[in-house]
């Protein structure tokens, strides 16, 4: 390999987290643990809602806390543009900016660059792009990204990686991106100013090529970052490929480090990801779909803008214990589908209410998965979850069945 050879001069990598691994599923690769971070303890596996611009889409931070959230995301790219590093430094970081005293994870800003890739090119030095306003050529380097994340002060920071679509047909480019991500990790480690209070996670790259992924795992594990992310997924690849990559990577990662699969958020993906041994997930989907009037429920999603809900006086989800669905007698708000239909897409409160429900749904789903792992009944949990979601066994997607067969659970055959 032509990546930087693991040199003895590498900076020691202190860690600002500890992971208590409580239980492993006796059948699948699922794990239940607690991640202790500078701003509180996080039960794993977990879904992390995305507060892109230092605000979770209209929710107050007390509403977010009531959903049980211990760790949410901010986007470095967005905070770098607004309010910018100088303001973050002056205010004292993102926790102080947004009044959130629990944990924050920030991405590196690299992913957003891919979305703008037509305007950006990746070179060894960093991401070159034209300033959208005046066309001046600019360069975003791993050092910039880490410096910004240091100013943000997030509890978990991500390395800048060379992200390219996993579906890219250019194998040489994927190989180059993987190796470059390893070299950039070294630069990020070197640039990281506060390893004693911010945990730098590496990001495994390598597209859909399992051999590249293995090499990358080896290189990055050697660098001993406090946590490890599996990146470059959820970019439109086949679900089968996604599962193979996650399965391969988690197989090579040390038990004592949290594993974060980036950009994954559909309930079925989360649950399969947990079965394959991943601990952390994030996605904007639950909050974005809430703004479009969609509620996430065990049977899928309900589009509450549809007229059929205009006189549906049931809660969004029967038996849900979120503030929105819980009846008034139990201290909840007792809201109905009909009233959310009345608000949604017309008043911002409609979006707020569905965001509360959807975030709560995702978090409690992970909570019940965790409980099932702790009680070693995760395979039964899988059967129940997919039974509710898809109904008939003939509706089960093949990728789910195959992925779970790979870890010892056959959904089609009753135990």
Partner 1 sequence: MGSEFPPQSLNEMLSFKVTPSILTPRLGNLAIAGRKAISTPHYIPSSSRGIVPHISHDVMRDHTAIGSLFVGLEDFVERQNLKEQLPPAYTIPTTQGESALRKFISLPDDLLLVMGARREPPIQCPPSNTPNSVAIYTAVGFRQLEAPQYIDAVRSLNPDIVVGLADLVLGHTPGVKRRGKMVDRTHAFTTHATEQLYGTAENRSKTAYFAPVLPLDNAQQSIYMDDLEDELRPYVSGLALYESASLSAISEPLGDLPRLLFSGPKTPHDVLRDVSLGADLLTIPFIAVCSDAGIALDFTFSANTTTTNRQPMAYDLWSSSYITDTSTLSESCQCYTCRNHHRAYIHHLLSAKEMLAWTLLQIHNHHTMDTFFSQIRESIARNTFEANVQAFQRAYVSELPEPTGQGPRLRGYQLPASGANQPRRFPRVYGRLDDAVERFTESQSSVATPDTGADGLEEHGFARKEKS
Sequence ranges of the binding site: 107-111, 161, 205, 232, 320, 322, 325, 357
Q: Which of 107, 155, 269, 279 is catalytic?
A: 107
Question: Binding string to partner 1 for residues 222 to 241, with x set by CB under 8 A, is what?
Answer: --------------------
Contact set for partner 1, span 146-175 (CB under 8 A): 147-148, 151
Q: Is 98 in the site for partner 1 (CB under 8 A)?
A: yes
Q: Is 94 exposed, middle or buried (0-12, 13-18, 19+ CB in 10 A)?
A: buried
Residue 97: strand, helix, or coil: helix
Other beta carbons within 10 angstroms of residue 127's beta carbon come to 25
CB 248 within 8 A of CB 13: no
Of 29-37, 239-247, 341-349, 397-405, which segment contacts partner 1 by CB under 8 A? 341-349
Is residue 224 flagged as an active site residue?
A: no
Phi, psi dihedrals of residue 44, rounded to the nearest 5°: -115, 150
Residue 415 to residue 410: CA distance in whole angstroms? 8
Extract the annotated binding site for Zn(2+): 320, 322, 325, 357
Extract the annotated binding site for substrate: 107-111, 161, 205, 232
Task: Specify which residues 50 forms β-bridges with.
Answer: 73
**What's the token pair of residue 136?**
């001046």
CB 282 within 8 A of CB 47: yes
Interacting residue with partner 1 among 7, 8, 12, 137 (CB under 8 A): 137
Contact set for partner 1, span 351-370 (CB under 8 A): 351-353, 356
Toward partner 1, which CB reaches closer, 128 or 383? 128
Residue 75 to residue 81: CA distance in whole angstroms? 10
CB 57 within 8 A of CB 287: yes
Toward partner 1, which CB reaches closer, 80 or 227? 80
**What's the token pair of residue 14?**
């202190």
Closest contact distance (angstroms) between CB of 147 and partner 1 is 6
Closest contact distance (angstroms) between CB of 77 and partner 1 is 7
Toward partner 1, which CB reaches closer, 116 or 222? 116
Of 5-13, 242-250, 261-269, 335-343, which segment contacts partner 1 by CB under 8 A? 335-343
Q: Is 210 in the site for partner 1 (CB under 8 A)?
A: no
Q: Is 112 in the site for partner 1 (CB under 8 A)?
A: yes
Residue 21 to residue 32: CA distance in whole angstroms? 6
Of 5-13, 32-40, 112-120, 260-268, which segment contacts partner 1 by CB under 8 A? 112-120
CB 195 within 8 A of CB 227: no
Q: Is 121 in the site for partner 1 (CB under 8 A)?
A: no
Contact set for partner 1, span 284-323 (CB under 8 A): 310-311, 313, 323
User: How far is the CA of 340 from the CAs of 293, 322, 354, in angstroms?
Assistant: 8, 15, 8
Contact set for partner 1, span 44-83 (CB under 8 A): 53-63, 66, 77-78, 80-83
Q: Is 124 in the site for partner 1 (CB under 8 A)?
A: no
Element housing 357 (H / E): helix 348-374
**What's the token pair of residue 54?**
């230092």
Q: Which of 89, 247, 282, 414 is catalytic?
A: 282
Is residue 282 flagged as an active site residue?
A: yes
């Amino acid at each position: 390999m032509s990546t930087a050879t693991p040199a003895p001069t590498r900076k020691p990598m202190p860690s600002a987290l500890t992971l208590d691994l409580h239980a492993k599923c006796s059948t699948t690769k699922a794990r239940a643990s607690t991640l202790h971070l500078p701003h509180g303890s996080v039960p794993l596996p977990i879904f992390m809602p995305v507060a892109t611009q230092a605000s979770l889409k209209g929710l107050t931070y007390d509403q977010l806390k009531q959903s049980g959230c211990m760790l949410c995301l901010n986007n470095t790219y967005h905070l770098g543009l607004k309010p910018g590093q100088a303001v973050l430094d002056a205010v004292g970081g993102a926790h102080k900016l947004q009044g959130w005293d629990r944990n924050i994870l920030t991405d590196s800003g690299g992913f957003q660059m891919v979305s703008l890739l037509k305007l950006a090119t990746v070179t060894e030095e960093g991401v070159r792009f034209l300033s959208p306003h005046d066309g001046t050529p600019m360069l975003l380097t791993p050092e910039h990204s880490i410096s910004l994340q240091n100013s943000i002060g997030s509890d978990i920071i991500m390395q800048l990686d060379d992200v390219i679509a996993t579906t890219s047909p250019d194998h040489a480019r994927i190989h180059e991106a993987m190796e470059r991500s390893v070299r950039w990790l070294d630069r990020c480690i070197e640039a990281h100013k506060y390893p004693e209070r911010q945990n730098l996670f590496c990001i495994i790259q390598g597209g859909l090529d399992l051999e590249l992924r293995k090499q990358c795992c080896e290189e990055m594990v050697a660098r001993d970052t406090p946590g490890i992310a599996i990146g470059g997924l959820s970019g439109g690849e086949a679900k089968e490929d996604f599962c193979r990559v996650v399965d391969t990577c988690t197989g090579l990662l040390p038990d004592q480090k949290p594993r974060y699969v980036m950009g994954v958020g559909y309930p079925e993906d989360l649950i399969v990801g947990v079965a394959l041994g991943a601990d952390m997930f994030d996605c904007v989907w639950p909050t974005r779909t809430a703004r479009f009037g969609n509620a996430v429920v065990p049977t899928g999603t309900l589009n509450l803008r549809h007229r059929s809900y205009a006189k549906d006086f049931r809660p969004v989800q029967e038996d849900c214990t979120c503030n929105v669905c819980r009846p008034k007698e139990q201290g909840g708000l007792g809201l109905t589908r009909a009233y959310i239909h009345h608000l949604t897409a017309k008043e911002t409160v409609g979006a707020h209410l569905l965001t509360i429900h959807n975030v709560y749904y995702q978090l409690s789903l992970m909570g019940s998965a965790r409980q099932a792992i702790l009680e070693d009944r995760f395979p039964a949990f899988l059967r129940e979850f997919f039974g509710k979601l898809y109904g008939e066994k003939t509706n089960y997607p093949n990728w789910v069945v195959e992925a779970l067969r790979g870890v010892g659970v056959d959904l089609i055959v009753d135990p």
